[in-house]
Structure 1
């Protein structure tokens, strides 16, 4: 559950957590920071309307680094000063705060039964996903969204395509000088590719939607419950994957033709 919320942190939340680490963000502010993210699974049907907001893509000025370059840069909370010096970033800058938040989340140990890793290169992303899913038979999926984001508006569902797979790993792009993914397995999950059209702008997007079917063990204070007016165990809670995030699917083994 922590991954679900951490994956969609805004820069404002990163600032708040860095400056006020012992004070939770008030609920009314959280709702303003996440104006359209969570929805019920019943909304994933043709003809239904979902109000969503698509944020600007996470900042990664250096892009996806080659593995040997990424591996040569220190990547842990304790080595943050070395990483800042290596990358020429001021210690008290917003970029440094973003790095600190990302490293903190990457350093958190996985929970019982959880597969969790951070990847700083394409090779690490693929290898980590294969290890988490226990197979080479995987397929990535992501949302087709504008990098510049889109304003909050109602979207009408035009098509729904359930994703055929037995297990999933979600990977979330974080604000960092170069591309960093935080990945985790998502048990009790259904996934869909959903084509939608904006009611105000006519923007057509296709989003990867992740629906968590068992929320009974989630923290009752998780802000998805506040937004949707529900509580743990009430039913599936869904969210879309923002630009740059991806979900990896463990594909079913091909059956021999009869």
Structure 2
């Protein structure tokens, strides 16, 4: 008699276990599928989770799988729960989990004589606290300093204090960086003579944060130039607090400052306070910027014979806000000239509160060819103010005398526009059409998801993230964390359902909740063709080109991957072959989404500047950028 076969339940259990451990569609999935994955990893665990939640046997896209946590199973399973324990193991976690963490303590050059370590060419991440104190004539040059870094942190506190006749130059400083922080507190305090130059400073950076506190305070006869500062930077913040306080004969020039930047904020608090004979020039400041915001609070207060010039300030910018509170308050003989100020492409707002107030009658404030709109003048100096060729359509300024010539030339040519191809109309999505394609590169620093069981141990609030990752809240990264949390906590717009996903599992859960479990996720295949003209090949409407609902997810800046996901109603989603215009070679496969209902969008949205029309009048289409994604019901 033949031997009996093993009991069926044992075989079934073994096969089932093996099937669960193997990632679904891991082999033979084609170019868009995931490669074979070690079953004992956080990545494999997520893929099994995806298969249970979305059981439609579709390949897992490589762009999504590449973002999954690389943590080995043992590292993920043994990770401690209390936040101090997580903080203690942070260096190992950062390297094993591919997170965005500070690089640690920077090298200190404290106590070195000026010039002892320079020139600083190709240098990065250093602490120049108390560097060059009491130094004599000479120069320090920082060239190609901290380029292409993630979370660069440089400290120049009390740099060059009480020095004499010493120059410093910052050229190509922190260029192309991600989340860069620079601290210039009490820099060159009490110094005599010499000059400083910031040329091509923080160009094309993402989320720069520079602090100039008590910079050049009590200095004598120093000159400082900010030329091409934060050019084409994105979402940054610069603070000038107590800058030049109690200084004598200081000359500060801001030329091409923040030009073509995106959502840059600059604060000038107690700038030039009690200074003597200070001269500040803002020429070509914030030109063609997008939503710049500048605050001048107690600027030049108590100063003597200070002269400020704002020439071609915020020209051709989009929206933006300026606030001048207690500007030159209590000063003696203050002079300010606003020439061709506020000639923005799209109206912003400017508030002058307590400007030039005080008992001193020697001020001279001159608004020449001032083209501001939406302005408020409250508590303004009653004398010494001259408005020439002032153009303003707001009700507050209506009582001011405006020359007939200025009133007749009220319309301005609007130059500011988003990058070509960033927004387009649905009718352009046809085979054979030639069109510009924006730069769709993912400009966020590289990071991976945390496994959900680790991400849930870290409270989603700034103080907890600061504690775990050692990110001070007053740095660029700390402010980015706070901004991400605030955006996630914001109430949804009308018709929007939103959720911030702190893990890959959260994204899948939200997409299933909104669209059901038979869904597909898509993103543009690569960045090929971006920044130039392209030609469209075959164009296919998803779900037969019907109006549908999608879930779009956009990266947020955080130490680990966090996505802002929202369910978007009334859209059409398209796939398109992208071809080179000169050879018709297929170079990319794009995904585009068209928003059919724009009635709740802001009238100042860049789409309407680019395409014309108003909210609710036109549909707006855009490509899905690298790093972002959109989910739809499967065809």
Report if the CA contact (8 A) 2:494-2:600 is conserved.
no
1:62 Cα deviation (Å)?
Answer: 3.7
Say if 2:580 and 2:586, in contact at 8 Å, map to a contact too. yes
Deviates more, 1:90-99 or 1:189-198: 90-99
CA distance in 1, matches of 2:582, 2:555: 28
Among candidates 236, 243, 247, match of residue 15 of structure 1: 236
Q: Quick one: structure 1 residues 227 and 33, their matched pair in 2 at CA, closer, same or farther if it must change by over 3 Å?
A: closer
Q: TM-score, normalised by structure 1?
A: 0.80
Task: Say whether 1:206 aligns with 2:589.
Answer: yes
> Corresponding residue for 2:444?
59
Q: In structure 1, which of residues 160, 166, 171 is the aligned counterpart of residue 539 of structure 2? A: 160
Distance 1:67 1:195 in 2: 35
What do residues 149-203 of structure 1 show as CA deviations (whole Å, max 9, x unaligned)?
8651111101211111742111112222211111111111000011212447978
Cα separation, partners in 2 of 1:189 and 1:199, compared to 1, 3 Å: same
Shift of 1:31: 5.2
Q: CA deviation at 1:123?
A: 0.7
Structure scoring higher RCO (CA < 8 A, sep ≥ 6) equals: 1
Partner Cα separation in structure 2 for residue 197 and residue 215 of structure 1: 30
Evaluate the alpha carbon distance shift between residue 24 and residue 18 of structure 1 in structure 2; reply closer, same or farther with a 3 A threshold. Answer: closer
- CA-CA distance at 1:116 after TM superposition: 0.6
- The number of equivalent residue pairs is 236
The 1-side partners of 2:458 and 2:566 are apart by 23
Distance 1:213 1:150 in 2: 26
Q: 1:200 to 1:92 in 2, by over 3 A?
A: farther
Contact 1:118 1:181 (C-alpha < 8 Å) held by counterparts: yes
Question: Which of the numbers 176, 180, 185 marks the counterpart of 2:558?
Answer: 176
CA–CA distance in structure 1, aligned partners of residues 607 and 597 of structure 2: 14
Aligned counterpart, 1:7 = none
Aligned mates of 2:577, 2:477 — CA distance in 1: 34
Instruction: Report which of the two has the higher share of helix.
Output: 1
Show the counterpart of 1:215.
Answer: 598
Once the 2 structures are TM-superposed, how far is the Cα of residue 34 of structure 1 from its aligned partner? 4.0
Q: 1:141 touches 1:208 (CA, 8 Å); kept in 2?
A: yes
Structure 2 unaligned runs (5+)?
1-205, 208-232, 238-262, 268-289, 293-316, 319-344, 347-414
Please report how far the alpha carbon of residue 45 of structure 1 lies from its aligned counterpart in structure 2 after TM superposition.
Answer: 0.5
Q: Which piece of structure 1 moves more, 185-194 or 52-61? A: 52-61
1:140 corresponds to which of 518, 521, 527: 521
Deviation at 1:111, TM superposition (A): 2.9
Deviates more, 1:44-53 or 1:58-67: 58-67
Residues 110-139 of structure 1 deviation map (CA, whole Å, 9 limit, x = unaligned): 234321101011111111111123x21221
Equivalent position SS for 2:463 = helix
Q: 1:107 to 1:209 in 2, by over 3 A?
A: same
Counting only pairs closer than 5 Å after superposition, residues 80-119 of structure 1 correspond to structure 2 as: 80-119=462-501
Cα distance in structure 2, aligned partners of 1:92 and 1:52: 37
SS where residue 42 of structure 1 aligns? helix
Q: What is the SS of the residue equivalent to 1:45?
A: coil
Q: Distance in 1 between matches of 2:615 and 2:508?
A: 33
Please tell me the root mean square deviation across aligned C-alpha atoms, in Å: 2.9
Rounded to whole Å, the distance in 1 between the matches of 2:463 and 2:529 is 35
Distance 1:196 1:233 in 2: 29
- Does the C-alpha gap of structure 1 residues 187 and 24 become closer, same or farther in structure 2, counting only changes over 3 Å? same
Question: Taking structure 2 as the reference length, what is the TM-score of the superposition?
Answer: 0.34
Distance 1:198 1:69, change over 3 A: farther
